[in-house]
Amino acid sequence: MADRVALQHLVNAYCHAIDRRNYALLRTLYHPGASDDHRPYFQGSAEDYINWLPSMLDNWQATSHAISNCLFIVDGDEAEGEILTRAWHRSKDGKQDVIGYGRYADRYQKRDGIWRFAHRSLVLDYADTHAVNLAEGSAEVADNAGQAGSGDPVYTALALFAKDRTARNDTSGKKVK
């Protein structure tokens, strides 16, 4: 059971790192030599993927990645997982949203007692683009609206999260309009 809890934490931390643009945290989630397949967008080493991400994420004002229905199969220090995902992306100009649904086909390894990604592969099941219709009271106009980087309200509300991000020397990120 402890292995499954650790794997669940790993896939949750991935979503957090992507949406908060915490690339230092993201680097700690992959083992050295790991690979990532986010076709049609990227395919290669995990290190190259992490280096590529800012150029892709800078095209979006904000993102939100969520996971559900995590099914893990553990065999000693190796594991596999099928993870359902939903991703929302707001265009830089704030006029369009892209929403995608898919699954991650993950391979994990536990080395020195720590589970990390050995390979992550995206299976894209559905994507849709639509115009944004902002209404009064929407999250986008709230003073506590989420942000892509270190200015996100979670770092003010949760001191341990702020301390962890600072400890990783990752203060990247931009304020969402």
Residue 177, pLDDT score: 35
Residue 148, pLDDT score: 61
pTM: 0.80
- Domain residue spans of the chain: 2-134
Write the CATH number of the domain with boundaries 2-134: 3.10.450.50
Closest to 4 in 3D by CA, of 71, 92, 96, 89: 71
10-residue mean pLDDT profile of the chain (177 residues): values are 95 94 95 95 95 92 93 97 96 92 97 97 94 67 61 68 62 40
Cα gap 75→164, rounded to integer Å: 31
Residue 1, pLDDT score: 86
Return the number of other C-beta atoms located less than 10 Å from residue 116's C-beta: 19
Return the number of other C-beta atoms located less than 10 Å from residue 121's C-beta: 15
Cis peptide before 32 (omega within 30 of 0): no
Q: What is the 3-state secondary structure (H, E, C) of 28-85?
A: HCEEEEEEEEECCCEEEEHHHHHHHHHHHHCCEEEEEEEEEEEEEEEECCEEEEEEEE
